[in-house]
Structure 1
Amino acid sequence: MPEAGAASGAGGGPGAGSGRASGAQGDEDLSAAHVPGSDGGAAPEDAGAPGGARTARGGKLAAAAVNQASVWNVANLLTMLRLVLVPAFVALMLADGGYDPAWRAFAWAAFAVAMITDLFDGHLARAYNLVTDFGKIADPIADKAIMGAALICLSALGDLPWWVTAVILGRELGITLLRFLVIRYGVIPASRGGKLKTLTQGVAVGMYVLALTGPLATLRFWVMAAAVVLTVVTGLDYVRQAIVLRRRGIAERRAALKETEA
């Protein structure tokens, strides 16, 4: 994969940086330090010369171009696809009044593609060093957008109680806000329960999107019930982790301050 190789080369190897952003930053540092045409580096007497300044500026512009190009990798393209699928899903879901089985099947297909790409883009970004600032922001937005759109459409059509939508979306938005509030003390890692919750939610919502009847309609009720329970339980666990992380961070800062004063 060309872009993965570009990231590795920019950062001095796959393990040299934490992602595409760090690799591009390494390129910028190298461009500023090594001016083409010099003998192994930027000589001090060249640094103040107009030609040297122009070359250095050209190096920074080249690094900026690398930064911009690094956004267009496979992982980010999958994230963009999920964002595009959100309005497409809503249009398909509400087509012909929202109760036509054929349109609901197309809506399910769009939802399924979005959920499947969610499994792959994060793995690709980490495995091939394609992590970017855009991906860090857009990926969770795409996840929340497709799930939120599905839940709201289902509740608006009367297929799913509004309180279920409120519990799931409230938990997702609340935990996202909680992560930002405690990020100064550390990062709350994704737990196995959280991953199971995401999988169960996807299966349950997908079953509700399809116009199921009979035993399958009964089964989807229990799958959604399990998803709601996991949503609440894992949400409370994240709150506990956030409290522990904050207390630990405050204690470490106080200890460091005491050492400095001593």
Structure 2
Amino acid sequence: MKAAVKRVPVRNPANALTVLRLVLVPVFAVLTVMSEMTDSSLRIAACVVFGVASLTDFADGWIARTWGLVTAFGKVADPIADKALTGTALVLLSWFAVLPWWVTGLVLARELGVTLIRFWVLRHGVMAASRGGKIKTMLQIAAIAWYLWPFPAGLAGVGPWLMAAAVVVTAVTGLDYVFRALALRRSTRA
């Protein structure tokens, strides 16, 4: 006799947080554009919205795993929401000449590349996020938030160092995903 498969409803707290993050992306974008990175109060508002949206990224996955609320919708929507939030932030920071375009290009290329790699190996197995990938996400969030917050000149100088660390970890973990994908494909062919 087969064990009953638990059906998880799509409407659940984890997916609600993912949808909230998606909804907050345009709110964040509008606040950032309105601030023109010169209006301190709007920059603070944009940073707070970015921070809340980022917290939902950590909370939704934890809730889904802890309460057994993992759904196909969540598996697809969560990374889309993550990339929409950080991608929008990076593009806007570069648009306002706060962040060099090459940094935005490198990070976005890595994110697109990892997504394509995951699809490439999907029939061989699922590539879960690595510990390095989680560190990369935390560093990117910290760096973006630092750039958004209107720190005085001395403290604002920390932002590029945080972003430099994020870029290094982003590149290293991107290469790690390539090697893991190749190993996964080889192991399933054997």
For the aligned pair, the TM-score class normalised by the smaller chain equals over 0.9
Say if 2:183 is the partner of 1:237: no
How far apart in 1 are the matches of 2:64 and 2:135?
21
Deviation at 1:71, TM superposition (A): 1.5
Aligned to 1:159: 98
Q: Could you say what the CA RMSD is over the residues aligned between the two structures, in angstroms?
A: 1.5
Say if 2:162 is the partner of 1:223: yes
Aligned to 2:59: 120
Q: CA offsets, 1:57-105, max 9 Å, x none?
A: xxxxxxxxxx7xx221100110110000000000000115342111000
SS in 1 for 2:157: helix
How far apart in 2 are the matches of 1:121 and 1:222?
29
Give, as a single letter, the amino acid of the residue that structure 2 aligns with 1:87.
P
Matching residue within 102, 105, 112 for 2:41:
102
SS in 1 for 2:11: coil
Q: Give aligned-pair identity as a percent.
A: 53
Runs of 4+ more than 3 Å apart: none
Q: In 1, are the aligned partners of 2:18 and 2:56 still within 8 Å (CA)?
A: yes
How far apart in 2 are the matches of 1:101 and 1:80?
28
Q: In 1, are the aligned partners of 2:114 and 2:177 still within 8 Å (CA)?
A: yes
Normalising by structure 2, we get a TM-score of: 0.95
How far apart in 2 are the matches of 1:89 and 1:202?
14
SS in 1 for 2:115: helix
Q: CA offsets, 1:2-28, max 9 Å, x none?
A: xxxxxxxxxx7xxx64xxxxx23xxxx
Deviation at 1:173, TM superposition (A): 1.0
Matching residue within 246, 249, 259 for 2:188:
249
Say if 2:78 is the partner of 1:139: yes
Aligned to 1:199: 138
Deviation at 1:163, TM superposition (A): 0.4
Paired residues in the alignment total: 189
Aligned to 1:85: 24
Matching residue within 213, 221, 224 for 2:152:
213
Matching residue within 169, 185, 188 for 2:108:
169
SS in 2 for 1:102: helix
Aligned to 2:69: 130
Aligned to 1:74: 13
Deviation at 1:219, TM superposition (A): 1.1
SS in 2 for 1:160: coil
Normalising by structure 1, we get a TM-score of: 0.69
Deviation at 1:209, TM superposition (A): 1.2
Higher relative contact order (CA 8 A, sep 6+): 2
Any stretches of 5+ residues in structure 1 without a counterpart? Answer: 1-11, 18-22, 25-66, 252-262
Aligned to 1:111: 50
How far apart in 2 are the matches of 1:177 and 1:209?
30
Give, as a single letter, the amino acid of the residue that structure 2 aligns with 1:176.
T
Give, as a single letter, the amino acid of the residue that structure 1 aligns with 2:15.
N
Question: Which structure's CA Rg is the greater one?
Answer: 1
